[in-house]
Amino acid sequence: MDLNLSEEHEAVQFAARDFAQNELLAGVIERDNEQKFDRSLIKKMGDLGFLSMMVKPEYGGGGMDTLSYVIAMEEISKVDASAGVIMSVNNSLVCWGIQAYGSEEQKEKYLTQLSSGDTIGAFCLSEPEAGSDATSQQTTAEDKGDYYLLNGTKNWITNGNSSGICLVIAQTHPEKGHKGINVLIVEKGAPGFTIGKKEDKMGIRASDTYTLMFTDVKVPKENRIGEDGFGFKFAMTVLNGGRIGIAAQALGIAAGAFELSLKYAQERKTFGKPISDHQAIQFKLAEMATRIEAARLLVYKAARLKDEGKDYIQAAAMAKLFASDIAMWVTTEAVQIHGGYGYVKEYHVERMMRDAKITQIYEGTSEIQKLVIARELLK
């Protein structure tokens, strides 16, 4: 595998790093405290192409490859993991899903909006009783001829309040089990579509996470993606790609915490010398750097396999499993290196530790990733 980045990839890396350092960094602590993401920053992300990196140019996207996307995700998540997850959901789950499986009319209508940052998307799969067991959908989409009647509740929805377009997974034919599930495009403001409570989260606090409720929402048949009963396969397919994005987010969190720790260790002095001169700190930094590099290689491999049209299910699961564990471990060590300063918000690493935890949970828990990997190994 070629480990060298092309000039195009280096340009993407530079642009994402510049945006993160010059636009995201200044207000990141305030956004975390207030649990609110500045809408103008979402628009800037759209203007710079970060919300539609893999969308074809004819629909307003950048037409880039998956590797470009994960490179940008890492740089942005180094500074603000909340911005990273907004970007990930819009790119990996919503835009990619519509582009891969939507009708031409759906692509023309929705991808341009999602690409520009005028609106963002939400992916509505999880329910009060359907987390890891995605087959147990209680939200129903009753076939009424030329429309579906949507009823149910979706939990823990990223971009739940700020999104304008939702992909909702719902059961139409209960007797068929997971083969009776559909995916519907539901626009914000539809009668019967209400926003429920906002979750008060441990991490990624600037990213809005809400409960969404649907009560007799009429969804036109033309808003169904794919054939009748395609919804579960759609969800599992986009989640496979989404795991690459979350792996890149986890990688970014780890790399950001490491960079801060390296800088701090060279500046902070104890016993008359920088703490980086102490072997205990050197060993921590060495192991952090090594594990991060291993995670990066796994993420890049998964991205390249996807770009080459090869089977990337196992690689994506491995990348997410390993990178999320590394994010949790590195950020914990980063707090330790910073000592008492690591425990206060001003030094950022405590936020990164809080942000890291969710990468082991959403878009498939670490335990689910192990099941996926084992299933692929035993084929």
Q: Which residues are known catalytic residues? A: 363
Torsion of CA 315, 318, 324, 327, to 10 degrees: -90
CA-CA distance, 368 to 379, in Å (whole number)? 17
Cβ neighbours of 272 (radius 10 Å) = 6
Phi and psi for 250 in degrees, rounded to 5? -60, -40
> Amino acid letter at 11?
A
Task: Quickly list DSSP for 238-264.
Answer: HHHHHHHHHHHHHHHHHHHHHHHHHHH
CA-CA distance, 268 to 256, in Å (whole number)? 18
Phi and psi for 212 in degrees, rounded to 5? -115, 140
Q: Calculate ∠ Cα 230-235-241, nearest 5°.
A: 130
CA-CA distance, 241 to 227, in Å (whole number)? 21
Torsion of CA 152, 217, 222, 122, to 10 degrees: -60
Cβ neighbours of 346 (radius 10 Å) = 7
Tokens read off for 131: 């987390």
> Amino acid letter at 66?
T
Cβ neighbours of 198 (radius 10 Å) = 13
